[in-house]
Amino acid sequence: MHRTVSQLFLLSIICMGVCGAESLPSVTAPAAFDEEALPVSPARAISPVILDSELSSLHHPRTYPGCKVAPLSDIWDTEAAAFEKNADTAPVDVDDLMPDAAQALGNFQEMVTSLGGTFELKSAYRPLAYQAHLHEVWVKWVKELRNNRSSGCRALREEVGAEFSRHQLLVKQQPVQASDHTLGLAFDAAIAMPRGARLHGKRVTVDKLAALAGIKRPAIRRDPVHFKLLAARPADASYAHVSGL
């Protein structure tokens, strides 16, 4: 069973199409991006017969007759299934972060708010299978269904589009399959600092405060909410000094 699911998942990656530039209306794109063209892959060459036999062996087969795109894979991992079920309402999972990452998050949040900034934690630990699901939803929507106008795919297109929107995915931001989130070493937070925020009389930025807390944004433009733990943390004394203000 697992093998079948992973095969389907592989198929969904192989079968990439080309698409335009529209995004879902409910999703707000981040400010700045490189205008790179999406990769072009050759057209799919997989027999619908093989695909159908694969699908019929799934736990909950949902077929869309007349649509050559395979439905989303089932989520087998129970931890990931719980994340999926509560994706709209569940609190962010900070408890499963590694201790150093949890500590850095706490220190960072305290610094930002003590200097008058706002801190909105979006995501922290994510199970590997849940991350894989996010990746699959993105690939299926952006590469296979977004510009698919075939009437046979209409129902699947609606389902995957709703899933894409529910998870607040962005067309220009493809989730990776395994990430620092799955290792408990990263979190996503939307942060705004007041103009001219100062620490010890010096201007401070979000990234300056992040460095003081022992974290960094590896891709500020492409993924501005993503912070990961630095390999080597600064001495605790430096934070004690900061928080004493």
DSSP 3-state of 181: coil
Candidates 20-28, 73-81, 159-167, 222-230; binding stretch for Zn ion (CB under 5 A): 222-230
The CA radius of gyration of the chain, in Å to the nearest whole number, is 21
- Lateral strand order in the sheet of 118-123: 118-123, 186-192, 226-229, 215-216
Residue 226 sits in the site that holds Zn ion (CB under 5 A)? yes
Treating both helix axes as pointing N-terminal to C-terminal, what angle do 128-139 and 2-14 enclose, rounded to 10 degrees?
Answer: 40
Candidates 23-31, 88-96, 145-153, 184-192; binding stretch for Zn ion (CB under 5 A): 184-192
- The binding track of 137-176 with respect to Zn ion, each residue x by CB under 5 A or -, is ----------------------------------------
Least distance in angstroms from the C-beta of 105 to Zn ion: 12
Q: How many residues bind Zn ion (CB under 5 A)?
A: 2
Instruction: Output the six-digit token pair for 112.
Output: 């930002």
Of residues 157 and 226, the one with the C-beta less far from Zn ion:
226
Residue 188 sits in the site that holds Zn ion (CB under 5 A)? yes
Between CA 4 and CA 8 the distance in angstroms is: 6
What is the Cα 173 distance to its own chain's centre? Answer: 8
Least distance in angstroms from the C-beta of 187 to Zn ion: 7
Of residues 121 and 211, the one with the C-beta less far from Zn ion:
121
Least distance in angstroms from the C-beta of 188 to Zn ion: 4
Contacts 24+ apart (CB under 8 A), 238-242: 238/212, 239/107, 239/111, 239/212, 239/213, 242/111, 242/199, 242/212
Least distance in angstroms from the C-beta of 117 to Zn ion: 19
Candidates 49-57, 107-115, 189-197, 218-226; binding stretch for Zn ion (CB under 5 A): 218-226
Spatial neighbors of 14 by CB under 8 A, at least 6 apart, are 41, 44, 46
Candidates 14-22, 77-85, 92-100, 180-188; binding stretch for Zn ion (CB under 5 A): 180-188
Binding site for Zn ion (CB under 5 A): 188, 226
